[in-house]
């Protein structure tokens, strides 16, 4: 069914249809303003506007602004200009809509989750079933938590404010001193020839004062990966507020959550309203408090996001206790791959703050050779204390 949509006789004309189309795209998340509408109409004057393919290609080049837009464009175009998308299905009221009215999850309660409680902190034997050995130790689990956790119960705006301060100080401590740019300075390695010439005019070409330039101090780009698996739940409050604070203070910072899956949360955290940001995060962090697959997730990170966002000027901060259900070799390989991008890796482990802690967890031991820094962090204060040590990073 590829018939062109029939607009009603009252329809005021072509430009109004384009206007409608731009509004339609805007509703679907395209960042389009008035000028784009104008450009779109203008673009149509340079092609055969009766040819559907040409109109499609032309509008695509004007309205899409990123890869994601370009990929979704066909669907949205069809929905507006071709008949198929115009049919609205009638909403039929479901007879048993009183179920699960007060929960925030859209998962059905099958009763299986509650049957699994009490075993979630037991070691995963890899056979699929976790067994309880009653030792009460902290261990990683491979169970995926299907419940959604509301982040707003964990983090308050005040926490975020405090964390933002710590994050800013940490980012300030880590500065990149390599740069090809120069800025005017009292002391510096290079002469500012532009100024030398300007000022020597008054002295007949004799350069008496020598203004200088130096390399600017530039903050490094921070990429933070936070483990929110079951064993880390107690620290999530601190770390999540830290991430929120970091993203809000530093426009180049990048943040991710991982448990059994990896999610980029930078966009959600950048929301102007801190509470709404957490709300969006809730949707992303489906699986919060479940098992931990550090190796798999870091490997995924190394192969995807790291290629785009991690460079020689980056510091990758991993917030995790190192209890991993993946084989330690996977974690080591993933760190090695990330390290290849020339970045520094800092691992902040809440357990390291404990007395007599030793990195005995196999994953943690395997990770150590690739870390530039391995430090304790379980409270905001301990994060703040890192400031001094980060100066060398």
Partner 1 sequence: MSDWTTLKLQLAERGYIASSDLAMALHISLKLGRPLLLEGAAGVGKTEVARTLAAALDTKLIRLQCYEGLDAGHAIYEWNYQRQLLAIRAAAEDGKTGKAVEERIFSEEFLLERPLLQAIRQDKSPVLLIDEIDRADQEFEAYLMEVLSDFQISVPELGTLTAKSRPYVILTSNGTRDLSDALRRRCIYAYVEYPDRATELAILAARCPDIDGKLAAQIVGFVQALRKEELEKTPGVAEMLDFAAALTGLGINDLNENLQILRATLVTLLKTQSDRANIPIEVAQRLAGKAA
Q: Is 217 in the site for partner 1 (CB under 8 A)?
A: no
What's the distance, CA 66 to chain centroid? 17
Q: How far is the CB of 131 from partner 1 (least distance, A)?
A: 35
CB 285 within 8 A of CB 279: no
Q: Is 77 in the site for partner 1 (CB under 8 A)?
A: no
Q: How far is the CB of 332 from partner 1 (least distance, A)?
A: 15
Q: Quick one: CA dihedral 377, 378, 381, 383, positive or negative?
A: positive
Site for partner 1 in 242-301 (CB under 8 A): 251-252
Dihedrals φ, ψ of 185, to 5°? -155, 160
Helix (H, G, I), strand (E, B) or coil at 168: helix
Q: How far is the CB of 244 from partner 1 (least distance, A)?
A: 19
Residue 191 and residue 286: Cα distance in Å, rounded?
56
Q: Is 185 in the site for partner 1 (CB under 8 A)?
A: no
Q: What angle do CA 57, 58, 59 make, to 5 degrees?
A: 95
With CB under 8 A as the contact rule, the residue among 46, 93, 101, 209 that binds partner 1 is 46
Q: Which two tokens stand for residue 29?
A: 């998340």
CB 321 within 8 A of CB 363: no
Q: How far is the CB of 42 from partner 1 (least distance, A)?
A: 6
- Part of the chain binding partner 1 (CB under 8 A), chosen from 13-21, 48-56, 146-154, 222-230: 48-56
With CB under 8 A as the contact rule, the residue among 53, 98, 106, 114 that binds partner 1 is 53
**Beta-ladder partners of 100:** none
CB 121 within 8 A of CB 133: no
Q: Is 220 in the site for partner 1 (CB under 8 A)?
A: no
- Whichever of 69 and 286 has its CB closer to partner 1, that residue is 69
DSSP 153: G
Q: How far is the CB of 70 from partner 1 (least distance, A)?
A: 4
By CB under 8 A, the count of residues binding partner 1 is 46
CB atoms within 10 A of CB 207: 14
Binding site for partner 1 (CB under 8 A): 31-33, 35-36, 39, 42-43, 46-48, 51, 53-54, 57-58, 60-62, 64-67, 69-71, 179-181, 193-194, 196-197, 200-201, 204-207, 251-252, 303, 308-309, 311, 313
């Amino acid at each position: 069914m590829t018939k062109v949509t029939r607009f009603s006789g009252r329809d005021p004309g072509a430009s109004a249809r384009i206007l409608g189309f731009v509004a339609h795209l805007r509703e679907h998340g395209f960042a389009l303003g008035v000028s784009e509408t104008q450009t779109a109409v203008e673009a149509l004057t340079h092609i055969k506007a009766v040819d559907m393919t040409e109109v499609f290609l032309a509008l695509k080049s004007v309205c899409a602004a990123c890869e994601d837009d370009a990929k979704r464009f066909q669907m949205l175009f069809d929905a507006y200009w071709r008949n198929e998308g115009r049919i609205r299905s009638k909403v039929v009221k479901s007879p048993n809509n009183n179920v699960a009215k007060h929960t925030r999850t859209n998962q059905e309660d099958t009763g299986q989750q509650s049957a699994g409680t009490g075993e979630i902190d037991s070691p995963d034997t890899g056979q699929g079933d976790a067994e309880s050995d009653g030792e009460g130790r902290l261990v990683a689990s491979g169970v995926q938590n299907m419940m959604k956790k509301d982040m707003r119960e964990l983090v308050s705006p005040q926490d975020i404010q405090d964390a933002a301060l710590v994050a800013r100080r940490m980012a300030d401590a880590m500065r990149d001193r390599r740069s090809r740019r120069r800025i005017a300075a009292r002391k510096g390695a290079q002469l500012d020839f532009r100024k030398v010439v300007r000022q020597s005019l008054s002295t007949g070409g004799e350069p008496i004062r020598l203004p200088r330039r130096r390399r600017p101090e530039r903050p490094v780009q921070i990429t933070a990966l936070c483990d929110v698996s079951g064993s880390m739940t107690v620290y999530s409050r601190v770390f999540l507020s830290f991430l929120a604070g970091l993203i809000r203070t530093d426009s180049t910072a990048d943040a991710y959550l991982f448990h059994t899956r990896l999610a980029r949360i930078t966009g959600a955290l950048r929301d102007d309203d801190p509470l709404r940001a957490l709300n969006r995060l809730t949707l992303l962090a489906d699986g919060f408090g479940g098992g931990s697959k550090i190796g798999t997730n870091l490997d995924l990170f190394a192969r995807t996001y790291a290629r785009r966002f991690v460079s020689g000027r980056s510091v990758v901060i991993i917030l995790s206790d190192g209890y991993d259900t993946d084989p330690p070799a996977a974690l080591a390989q993933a760190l090695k791959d990330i390290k290849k991008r020339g970045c520094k890796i800092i691992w902040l482990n809440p357990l390291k703050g404990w007395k007599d802690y030793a990195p005995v967890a196999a994953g943690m031991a395997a990770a150590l050779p690739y870390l530039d820094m391995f430090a304790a962090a379980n409270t905001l204060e301990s994060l703040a204390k890192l400031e001094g040590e980060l100066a060398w990073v």
